């Protein structure tokens, strides 16, 4: 076994590989770009080598720099993770030349699976089922047209060099074929520099089922069952699971054996995934991914094996840790990919700082627990435009699919992220949807269930508003170093004070008097631990977490998050005047209390003065860090609208 490896990747997969290496007593070398100098994967490794600027082209994709880093640190092998150089045959070869082990398949196997039409010919010879189609070298349009007519419509024209959904055209009738062919070829030459195409029967309700295979250098090859990755949007996987719901043992075995035949046909070594497209009882070879995949943890959860450990053992020449007969499926596993993106805006990627980040209680390893979180970021880290916007993978295991689904919904409900848009709420609706729960999956599931997955926004419930109100009061108490409602000069002692808060489009009333708080007329008690609140609202206990992002409150409660814009008309009085200067009364009223001394240095947001107007209490806060130069009124004074209340200087 190796004693030191270099991990040529970043983020969660670099952390994932480092975890296994550490467990096996293997030292790790991280590589990083300018954007990743302080990142989690660097901290997860024993050593780190700087590669260059933030763009992948100038850092994670530069073979020479990575090989030089391996040489300089004495790493015996390189784990490429996924993406970046993981399926680059030139890199696999360059590693071999440099005398460093590439932890992946031989360059020849990567290349054999790289070109679609060639791969299909090989698979045909190996008796792996293919979608009825044409993948010949003769590309004469008339011949392709004739082939399409033979296959029968609808057909799919696919760029031979394509992948991931790029360069595909569906054609419904013979009359449309030649125009679609031309447009597909144009796209293919632009995207891949190669306009060869293949023609396939177009399956209209397909499932994406992929089989995990593993081969060693001693001629053994096994399958570790399948993953269903049908739930996708724009060719991006969203939810993956293992095993595939509803797959019979006979079909599982047939697919597993077909996947092993595919791997053997190209002399495969290491971890690989054979993708099938399935419809009804039929399944057909699509392509082979010659790397460890993002969704590998669901396979680990149901088999109990660590696939990175298998990769390291195989790469160092050991035999596979288990035989086919020893591999068994236990329970059911799901993975949800948490992305920085906005589902309501067409899944537009989001960037920003993870100002608040909490995951459910979890383990970071194979099957030690029911919930596993694989993440390459920590609170305070940023999601940048340079790399994939995945924040984390939530992986859950359950005795059966239903239990796994319940656990996933619960895990998503306990995932708290503030600072950028995420798909957490969307994922939760997805796993809670009838369509997904039924297990009748196909690649059109998200589109077909649009209304359930993108419901109209609802007005926030009282419990959420009460948590928000409690947090607003707590923030003011904190910024004043004392609760203005309990420890100030006695201005409230014989009265009940009322305060109105506008939270989003809702307005709530908070009162404080002899008997404590009232929220919209109901008695309320507040217990707080950092960001976590425990209220008694009447007889109802309410727990939640409230995070401020400027004047936006993010209220996490009962598994959902509500973002509320706080608007306190009077607290904002004077802010339009710019920084410092005048603070004026926004309506006629009476001064109730002055909350600090003249000349006091205060922070932005510190309550300065309480006035009462229209039977409500309003607090005027400092518009910026500064000094209260002079109060122009005393408690008890009447003030008219627009009257200057105090002089504030920066
Ligand atoms: C297909 C297909 C229907 N019929 N091939 C999309 C990505 C590429 N790997 C293969 N893809 C498809 N090939 C035939 N003959 C439908 C798709 C497809 C798809 C496949 C798997 C998962 C999601 C998908 C979403 C749209 C289309």
Task: Note whether residue 475 is domain-resident.
Answer: yes
In short, whether 208's Cβ falls inside 6 Å of ligand 1 is yes
Least Cα distance to 75 among 99, 50, 56, 44 occurs for: 99
Task: Note whether residue 111 is domain-resident.
Answer: no
CATH code for the domain in which residue 483 is found: 3.30.700
**275 and 177 share one domain:** no
CATH code for the domain in which residue 149 is found: 3.30.1490.20
Residue range 227-263, pLDDT digits in tens: 999 999 888 899 999 999 999 999 999 999 999 999 9
**498 and 479 share one domain:** yes
Task: Note whether residue 478 is domain-resident.
Answer: yes
In short, whether 86's Cβ falls inside 6 Å of ligand 1 is no
Q: What is the reported pTM?
A: 0.85
Tell me the sheet residues that pair with 602. 626
CATH code for the domain in which residue 22 is found: 3.40.50.20
Task: Report how far ligand 1's centroid is from the alpha carbon of 629 (Å).
Answer: 69
**482 and 430 share one domain:** no
**561 and 582 share one domain:** no
Strands (E), 205-315: 207-215, 221-233, 236-242, 270-279, 282-289
**305 and 429 share one domain:** yes
**363 and 505 share one domain:** no
What does each C-alpha distance from 227 to 239, 302, 352 come to in angstroms?
10, 10, 32
Task: Report how far ligand 1's centroid is from the alpha carbon of 284 (Å).
Answer: 11
Is residue 613 predicted with pLDDT exceeding 80?
A: no
At CA 232, angle to CA 231 and CA 236, rounded to 5? 145
Give the integer Cα–Cα distance in Å for 410 and 424.
Answer: 12
**191 and 218 share one domain:** no
**296 and 415 share one domain:** yes
**502 and 488 share one domain:** yes
Give the integer Cα–Cα distance in Å for 334 and 385.
Answer: 28
Instruction: Catalytic residue, from 291, 367, 401, 488: name it.
Output: 291
Structure tokens at 533: 């609140």
**331 and 440 share one domain:** yes
What does each C-alpha distance from 545 to 303, 376, 418, 564 come to in angstroms?
36, 24, 12, 13
Domain boundary among 143, 168, 201: 201
Task: Note whether residue 425 is domain-resident.
Answer: yes
**38 and 147 share one domain:** no
Q: Which of 235, 238, 287 to mutate to test the pocket of ligand 1 (most atoms within 8 A of CB)?
A: 235
For the question of residue 291 being annotated catalytic, the response is yes
In short, whether 531's Cβ falls inside 6 Å of ligand 1 is no
**466 and 596 share one domain:** no
The single-letter DSSP state of residue 578 is -
Q: Which of 133, 152, 160, 168 to mutate to test the pocket of ligand 1 (most atoms within 8 A of CB)?
A: 168
Give the integer Cα–Cα distance in Å for 460 and 441.
Answer: 32
Give nearest CA residue, ligand 1 atom 3: 203
Mean pLDDT of the chain: 90
Task: Note whether residue 413 is domain-resident.
Answer: yes
| Residue 514 near residue 485, CB atoms below 8 Å | no
pLDDT computed for residue 571 by the predictor: 55
pLDDT computed for residue 581 by the predictor: 53
Domain boundary among 176, 201, 226: 201
**Domain carrying residue 254:** 207-453
Task: Report how far ligand 1's centroid is from the alpha carbon of 164 (Å).
Answer: 8
Backbone phi, then psi, for 407, in 5-degree steps?
-65, -35
Q: Which atom of ligand 1 is nearest to the CA of 284?
A: 15
Task: Report how far ligand 1's centroid is from the alpha carbon of 223 (Å).
Answer: 23
The tally of domains found in the chain comes to 5
The answer for residues whose C-beta is within 8 angstroms of residue 418's C-beta and 6 or more apart is 354, 355, 356, 357, 547, 549, 554
The single residue listed with the structure tokens 């975890």 is: 19
Residue range 139-173, pLDDT digits in tens: 999 999 999 999 999 999 999 887 767 789 999 99
pLDDT computed for residue 491 by the predictor: 38
């Amino acid at each position: 076994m190796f004693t030191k490896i270099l991990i040529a990747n970043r983020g969660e997969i670099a952390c994932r590989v480092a975890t296994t290496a550490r467990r096996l007593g293997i030292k790790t070398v991280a590589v990083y770009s300018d954007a990743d100098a302080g990142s989690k994967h660097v901290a997860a490794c024993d050593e780190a080598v700087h590669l260059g600027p933030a763009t992948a082209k100038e850092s994670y994709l530069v073979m020479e720099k990575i090989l030089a880093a391996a040489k300089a640190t004495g790493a015996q092998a390189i784990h490429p993770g996924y993406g970046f150089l993981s399926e680059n045959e030139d890199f696999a070869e360059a590693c071999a030349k440099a005398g460093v082990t590439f932890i992946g398949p031989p360059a020849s196997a990567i290349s054999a699976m790289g070109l679609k039409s060639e791969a299909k010919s090989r698979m045909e010879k190996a008796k792996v089922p293919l979608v009825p189609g044409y993948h010949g070298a003769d590309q004469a349009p008339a011949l392709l047209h004739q082939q399409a007519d033979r296959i029968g419509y609808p057909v799919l024209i696919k760029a031979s060099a394509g992948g991931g959904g790029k360069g595909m055209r569906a054609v419904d009738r013979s009359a449309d074929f030649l125009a679609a062919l031309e447009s597909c070829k144009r796209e293919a030459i632009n995207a891949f520099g190669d306009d060869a195409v293949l023609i396939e029967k177009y399956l209209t309700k397909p499932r994406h089922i992929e089989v995990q295979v593993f081969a060693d250098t001693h001629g053994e090859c096994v399958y570790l069952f399948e993953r269903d990755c049908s739930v996708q949007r724009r060719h991006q996987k969203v939810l993956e699971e293992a095993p595939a719901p509803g797959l019979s043992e006979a079909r599982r075995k047939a697919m597993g054996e077909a996947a092993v035949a595919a791997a053997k046909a190209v002399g495969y070594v290491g971890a690989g995934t054979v993708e099938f497209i399935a419809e009804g009882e039929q399944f057909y070879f699509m392509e082979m991914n010659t790397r460890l995949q993002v969704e590998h943890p669901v396979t680990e959860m149901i088999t109990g094996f660590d696939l990175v450990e298998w990769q390291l053992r195989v790469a160092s020449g050991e035999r596979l840790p288990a035989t086919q007969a020893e591999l068994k499926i236990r329970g059911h596993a799901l993975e949800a990919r948490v992305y920085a993106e906005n589902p309501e805006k067409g899944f537009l990627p989001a960037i920003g700082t993870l100002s608040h980040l909490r995951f459910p209680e979890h383990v970071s390893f194979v099957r030690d627990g029911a919930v596993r979180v694989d993440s390459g970021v920590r609170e305070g880290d940023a999601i940048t435009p340079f790399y994939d916007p995945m924040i984390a993978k939530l992986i859950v295991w359950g005795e059966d699919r239903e239990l796994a689904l319940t656990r996933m919904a619960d895990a998503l409900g306990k995932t708290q992220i503030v600072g950028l848009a995420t798909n957490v709420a969307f994922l939760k609706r997805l796993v809670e949807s009838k369509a997904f729960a039924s297990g009748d999956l196909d690649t059109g599931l998200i589109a077909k269930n649009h209304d359930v997955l993108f419901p109209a926004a609802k007005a926030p419930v009282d419990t959420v508003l009460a948590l928000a109100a409690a947090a607003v009061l707590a923030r003011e108490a904190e910024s004043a170093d004392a609760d203005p409602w309990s420890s100030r000069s006695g201005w409230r002692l014989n009265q009940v004070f009322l305060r109105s808060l506008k939270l989003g489009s809702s307005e709530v009333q908070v009162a404080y008097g002899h008997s404590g708080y009232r929220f919209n007329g109901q008695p309320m008690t507040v217990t707080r631990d950092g960001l976590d609140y425990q209220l008694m609202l009447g007889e109802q206990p309410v727990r939640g977490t409230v995070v401020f992002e400027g004047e936006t409150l993010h209220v996490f409660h009962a598994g959902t998050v509500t973002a509320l814009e706080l608007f306190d008309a009077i607290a904002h009085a004077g802010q339009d005047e710019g920084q410092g200067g005048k603070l004026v009364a926004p309506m006629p009223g009476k001064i109730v209390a002055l909350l600090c001394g003249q000349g006091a240095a205060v922070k932005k947001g510190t309550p300065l003065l309480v006035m009462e107007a229209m039977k409500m209490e309003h607090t005027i806060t400092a518009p910026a860090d500064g000094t209260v130069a002079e109060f122009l009124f005393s408690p008890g004074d009447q003030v008219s609208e627009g009257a200057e209340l105090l002089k504030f200087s920066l």
